[in-house]
Amino acid sequence: MARINSFAELEKLRQEIKGRRDPNKTCITLCSGTACYASASESVNEALERELDRQGLKEEIGLRRTGCHGFCEQGPLVVIYPEETCYTKVKPEDAAEIVQGVKEKKVIERLLYSDPVTGEKIVHESEIPFYKNQHRLVFGPNRWIDPKSIEDYLYIDGYSALAKALSQMTPDQVLEEIKKANLRGRGGGGFPAGKKWEETKNAPGEPKYVVVNCDEGDPGAYMDRSLMEGNPHSVIEGLIIGAYAIGSHKGFVYVRQEYPLAVENLNLALKQAEEYGLLGGNILGSGFDFSIKVHRGAGAFVSGESSALMIAMEGKAGEPRMKYIHMSQRGYKEKPSCLNNVETWATVPFIINKGSDWFNSIGTEGSKGTKIFSLVGKVNNTGLVEVPMGMTLRQIIYDIGGGIPKGRKFKGVQTGGPSGGIIPEQYLDTPIDFDELTKIGSMMGSGGMIVMDEDTCMVDMARYFVDFCCEESCGKCIPCREGLRVLSGILTHICEGEGKEEELQTLERVAEVMKDASLCALGATAANPVLTTLKYFRDEYEAHIKDKRCPAKVCKNLINYYIDPEKCGACMICLRNCPTGAVQGGKNLVHWIEQDKCIKCGICYQVCPERFSAVEKLSGEPVPAPVPGREVVRKKE
């Protein structure tokens, strides 16, 4: 491909691409995001290719591998355009039937998504409740384009915002538009992007740098990875526009090493953008020069923090420093550096193309636009969802997520990763908004949303997040390093049934010190899961301490497994599977557990057939005495 030297040439090329493509041509799209890839989408692709070839339909029907569609648990996903017929959990052996079905315009019933609540089979992707209630703006193109093809991105008007910015707007006008759009950073704190750009622009010192944060270390979060894998050009385009506004000629993408597909697609996209003259010297003949370098991070949570990230890019250990001076003043190599999250940069082209008024029409007073969340945990539909700011947690969990599996009761939702808090049922109608979430003790964070049901122990959950931060803390400052150890020790104590009432006060006091005295936001916010669970689920802490009872029956030291003799069918399954020989009984004899031998691994509970459901967990109550040798009374089927 020859380099594009002007805006007119870019537009000409776009028209040529559009002219070459028939929007009504049937195209089979196959998700090739990491989750679908892990479910063998590559083999499905090979099988589809073979079938199209065998049935002589290669010219007639297109086949495109796309980025993540968001509904990863149903993958590999196949969507056939223009009808938008959606097939889930596709296997290589389904390829012949799919191609045949496309040829004969027939829908394959058995591959359609079946609603777990109503059992209804749904044909079209946009009618699936998981998608129906979303507003897929930034994440939307992921499902149409091949991330490895710059032509696909140009076809959907990619790089038109860059052309508009460079040809019709001054850097100050671009900056004003972002400020007017009230775009807030999607990576954590929701800092106004325009303000940060302006600070970097006005800061003394040259050169200035722009940086993409694709570290994404929050447990359960993977929206940045999927966006980078599925639509890297959108991030690159946003970054170039930002660089133009700020007056930067060098950019970096900090991406964790554990994201190999994101790194691969990003590197390819950068190469293509350079070849097309969209990166490098004199971009599109505008006179603006800009280049991007990829920095692969070693994958430490703390390295996602702005000062640690800059230091890691300099080749040193990624540890935060005091931030009395902002990165926008003194960042990478002590020069003004503007760091924004993947999603923040990818939102920029939309604002430039559609305008700040349009962006302001989506969302709430204080939080504009949409936000991508990774909805995971105890929810029927898990995956990546993009919703307008202001949608309530209830709408996300129930209308999009389909509610809690197996009719269990909702208990809480963790937003904001380890720095966020666990929000109880009473706040389910809280609108998703940076400020609203902070008001109730949590935060938006980068978009992890972990749903918990009645079987989740809130003390154990708080301990999980604290232990995560304990592992990930750089250890440089005492409040964070030692504070986390103290919190972890007390929570472990409580989970083991050894907790004391006065330790609850110690938790609060240590949390307070960590908040005020930690070097960076890792330590300052790490106690949030503890503080929110203490605030909203204090009765669970008290049950552990006073009654030696775990209400969710999770904490090993506080539970016993017990076989209900009335329900036991003496099927021998638990007896055979018990690793310590604690299960006693025999053929036709009711089973019982020798408590001294039981290591509480829970295998008996898991393997007991549903038709008996004889194994129970008991907590805070005595285990009824066994009756060895009792015969099973078989009920008539």
Ligand X SMILES: Cc1cc2nc3c(=O)[nH]c(=O)nc-3n(C[C@H](O)[C@H](O)[C@H](O)COP(=O)(O)O)c2cc1C
**Contacts to ligand X by CB under 6 A:** 185-189, 191, 213, 215-217, 301-302, 304-306, 339-341, 344, 446, 520-522
| Backbone φ, ψ for residue 21 (5° rounding) | -110, 135
Q: How far is the CB of 77 from ligand FES (least distance, A)?
A: 5
**Residue 75 interacting with ligand FES (CB under 6 A):** yes
Q: How far is the CB of 513 from ligand X (least distance, A)?
A: 18
Please say which residue, 226 or 356, places its beta carbon nearer to ligand FES.
226
Q: Please choose, out of 63-71, 289-297, 346-354, 461-469, the segment that lies near ligand FES by the rule CB under 6 A.
A: 63-71
Quick one: tokens of 288? Answer: 């603006």
Q: How many residues does the chain have?
A: 637
Q: β-strand 291-297 against 250-256: which pairing, if any?
A: parallel
**Residue 78 interacting with ligand FES (CB under 6 A):** no
Pairwise CA distance, residues 320 & 283, whole Å: 35
Cβ atoms < 10 Å from Cβ of 414? 31
Residue 463: is it exposed, middle or buried by C-beta count within 10 angstroms (0-12/13-18/19+)?
Answer: buried
Q: How far is the CB of 358 from ligand X (least distance, A)?
A: 20
Which residue's CB comes closest to ligand FES? 33
**Residue 318 interacting with ligand FES (CB under 6 A):** no
Using CB under 6 A, pick the residue from 27, 72, 221, 311 that binds ligand FES. Answer: 72
Interface with ligand FES (CB under 6 A), residue total 12
What single DSSP character describes residue 608?
S
The site partner of 393 among ligand FES, ligand X, none (C-beta below 5 to 8 Å per kind) is none
**Residue 36 interacting with ligand FES (CB under 6 A):** yes
Pairwise CA distance, residues 398 & 385, whole Å: 13
Q: How far is the CB of 277 from ligand X (least distance, A)?
A: 28
The site partner of 75 among ligand FES, ligand X, none (C-beta below 5 to 8 Å per kind) is ligand FES
The site partner of 306 among ligand FES, ligand X, none (C-beta below 5 to 8 Å per kind) is ligand X
438 Cβ neighbours under 8 A, 6+ residues apart: 444
Please say which residue, 35 or 253, places its beta carbon nearer to ligand FES.
35
Cis peptide before 260, with omega less than 30 degrees from 0? no
Lookup result for tokens 């994101």: 262
The site partner of 270 among ligand FES, ligand X, none (C-beta below 5 to 8 Å per kind) is none
One-letter identity of residue 499: G
Q: How far is the CB of 158 from ligand X (least distance, A)?
A: 21
Q: Which residues partner with 99 through β-bridges?
A: none
The site partner of 72 among ligand FES, ligand X, none (C-beta below 5 to 8 Å per kind) is ligand FES
Pairwise CA distance, residues 384 & 589, whole Å: 49
Please say which residue, 36 or 284, places its beta carbon nearer to ligand FES.
36
Please say which residue, 30 or 270, places its beta carbon nearer to ligand FES.
30
The site partner of 216 among ligand FES, ligand X, none (C-beta below 5 to 8 Å per kind) is ligand X
Axis-axis angle for helices 160-168, 342-354 (nearest 10): 60
Lookup result for tokens 């005595």: 622
Using CB under 6 A, pick the residue from 4, 27, 31, 342 that binds ligand FES. Answer: 31
Q: How far is the CB of 191 from ligand X (least distance, A)?
A: 5
404 Cβ neighbours under 8 A, 6+ residues apart: 378, 379, 380, 397, 410, 451, 453
Q: Please choose, out of 30-38, 470-478, 507-515, 629-637, the segment that lies near ligand FES by the rule CB under 6 A.
A: 30-38
Lookup result for tokens 């196959």: 30
Q: Please choose, out of 66-74, 124-132, 337-345, 614-622, the segment that lies near ligand FES by the rule CB under 6 A.
A: 66-74
491 Cβ neighbours under 8 A, 6+ residues apart: 459, 462, 463, 466, 507, 530
Cis peptide before 609, with omega less than 30 degrees from 0? no
- Answer yes or no: are the C-beta atoms of 479 and 512 closer than 8 Å: no
Q: Please choose, out of 67-75, 202-210, 401-409, 564-572, the segment that lies near ligand FES by the rule CB under 6 A.
A: 67-75
The site partner of 464 among ligand FES, ligand X, none (C-beta below 5 to 8 Å per kind) is none
Secondary-structure percent of the chain, ordered helix, strand, coil, rounded to 5: 45, 15, 40
Quick one: tokens of 452? Answer: 């918990």
Please say which residue, 416 or 497, places its beta carbon nearer to ligand X.
416
186 Cβ neighbours under 8 A, 6+ residues apart: 341, 342, 343, 344, 347, 371, 372, 446, 447
The site partner of 77 among ligand FES, ligand X, none (C-beta below 5 to 8 Å per kind) is ligand FES
Residue 140: is it exposed, middle or buried by C-beta count within 10 angstroms (0-12/13-18/19+)?
Answer: middle
Pairwise CA distance, residues 373 & 370, whole Å: 10
Please say which residue, 339 or 510, places its beta carbon nearer to ligand X.
339
The site partner of 265 among ligand FES, ligand X, none (C-beta below 5 to 8 Å per kind) is none
**Residue 563 interacting with ligand FES (CB under 6 A):** no
The site partner of 213 among ligand FES, ligand X, none (C-beta below 5 to 8 Å per kind) is ligand X
- Answer yes or no: are the C-beta atoms of 171 and 245 closer than 8 Å: yes
What single DSSP character describes residue 379?
-
Pairwise CA distance, residues 375 & 174, whole Å: 33
Pairwise CA distance, residues 35 & 72, whole Å: 6
Please say which residue, 68 or 212, places its beta carbon nearer to ligand FES.
68
The site partner of 189 among ligand FES, ligand X, none (C-beta below 5 to 8 Å per kind) is ligand X
Using CB under 6 A, pick the residue from 47, 68, 193, 511 that binds ligand FES. Answer: 68
The site partner of 69 among ligand FES, ligand X, none (C-beta below 5 to 8 Å per kind) is ligand FES
**Residue 69 interacting with ligand FES (CB under 6 A):** yes
Please say which residue, 305 or 453, places its beta carbon nearer to ligand X.
305
Q: How far is the CB of 41 from ligand FES (least distance, A)?
A: 7
Which residues of this chain interact with ligand FES, rule CB under 6 A?
31, 33-36, 68-72, 75, 77
